Structures are given as structure tokens and as C-alpha cells.
Amino acid sequence: MKPVPLYDPFSAEYDRFVNWRERLAYELPFIEQQLTAVRARRVLDVACGTGMHAIALAQRGYDVTGADLSAGMIERARENAKAAGSEARFVVAGFGELATSVGDGFDALLCLGNSLPHVLTAEALHATLSDCAAALRPGGLLLIQNRNFDAVMAHRARWMPLQAHREGEHEWLFIRFYDFNPDGTLTFNVITLRRQETGEWAQQVETTTLRPWLHDELARAITAAGFGGLTCYGDMSGASFDPGTSGNLVLTANRG
């Protein structure tokens, strides 16, 4: 399998980049509220990264499978699950191959962390969402969390907040920004700076391409893939969505 740009080399640093204690404490109540609404037991976490959402849900009694195209991320997820004593399972599988690689009949499918924008064309988006539908049981929940690209594109919001992490004498800084490309895509750049004590900074730069899907585009595509009951939120606390100001676009829908 070919390496996945940005994510295979970034997998060793990703759990330093994310403050998982704070993120999970903030997001899990909303996620579990949505899972409870459809009486979910079997959950598929797509583009699961290092598996921390999947592990947390498995610890709460859900039967969870995580899938990610990045073999490096899945290796890290399995290590995290072993360290946590979790029974969450992890499979290397990307968008468009879920139903064949992971199976079907799931009660809920999560696609978190701005993962869907890695799908770059309308045709690929339709295939991805149709594959998500095929992995779900009738009435099953689809939950997508993206950045609110309506606001990003309207304001040309290039920079994201600086992230910092320290372990003893070691320090990391993570700098993230977009380049706006002529074809309407974005280049997502992540600069990782590392140093020990007050030594020289070592740096690593990784990039990948994103499609900044807007609210209306996603709503039409989700409906066309056979989902109903579409609801939009502005963050993972369930706040109302405002295309001009919300930080996230969170969508929930149910397979028809």
C-alpha cells in the first residue's frame, strides 16, 4: 500500500498534537447523545486516526471498529488500544471500500476530525457517502464533523491556532495553515517543530490536499446518497450552525 501523504509520517506525533483528555471530555457527550437516539451498539469510526474516539467508545460498552487509510495511524491505534486494555478493532481501509473491507449492518458511522475534505471530487464524494450508507443498517446514524469551510472560504481564514506540547525536557510546536489553490482546493500544511531543553529546533513539514466542501454541497450529496433527517450543528456541543461564524459544520443523518 502506498504511503498516505501527511498522515503516515505524522502518526508518531499526532497524539502529542491533540489534547485527547480535553477533546474527548468535550465531544463524547454529544456523540453518545446521537448514538443513544438510534440505540446504537455497533459503531464504525471512519478515518479514525490513532483511534482515541473508538477506544473511548469501546470503554463505554460500544462494539467499535476503527478504519483508516493510513497504515501508520492504524498501527498507532492498535498500540493505543493495547495500552488502554480496549477491545476496539482497527482495520486499514479508506473511503469507498468500507462496506467490502469492514462489513455492513453498523448502527452508526462516525467521520470526525475534518476527514471528509480529503475526498476531492463530487464523484468521489458520492461514492464515499454511498459506501457509508452501504455500511449502515436502515435507519443507522451518519455523523460527520468538518471545519466550517463556508467561513474559511468567505474570510480566507488561512491560519489555525498554534498547538504546543511538552514531555519533560522535550517540546513540540505544531503550526497549521492553508494555501488557497487556483482550482478551488486547499493545501493543508503542518509544520512540526521539536527541541530538547533550549536546543535548536528541528523541523518537519507535511502537506496534503483538501476540498473545502460547503454546507449546501454536503447537504445535497448526503441526501443524494439516500440519507434523510439531515440536521446541522455548529460544533460538537450541538450549538446551532451559522455559516459565517461557526467553527465546525457537524452533520447528522439517517440511512433511508
CA–CA gap between residue 64 and residue 60 (Å, rounded)? 10
Contacts of 231 (CB under 8 A, 6+ apart): 251, 252, 253
Domain spans, the chain? 7-148+213-255, 152-210
- Residues facing residue 111 across a β-bridge: 46, 144
* Fold entry, domain 7-148+213-255: Rossmann fold (3.40.50)
pLDDT in tens, the chain (256 residues): 556 778 888 888 999 999 999 999 999 999 999 999 999 999 999 999 999 999 999 999 999 999 999 999 999 999 999 999 999 999 999 999 999 999 999 999 999 999 999 999 999 999 999 999 999 999 999 999 999 999 999 999 999 999 999 999 999 999 999 999 999 999 999 999 999 988 999 999 999 999 999 999 999 999 999 999 999 999 999 999 999 999 999 999 999 9
Alpha-carbon distances of 244 from 112, 127, 185, 218, 240, rounded to whole Å: 21, 29, 20, 16, 12
May I ask the CATH architecture of the domain 152-210? Single Sheet (2.20)
24 burial (CB, 10 Å; 0-12 / 13-18 / 19+) is middle
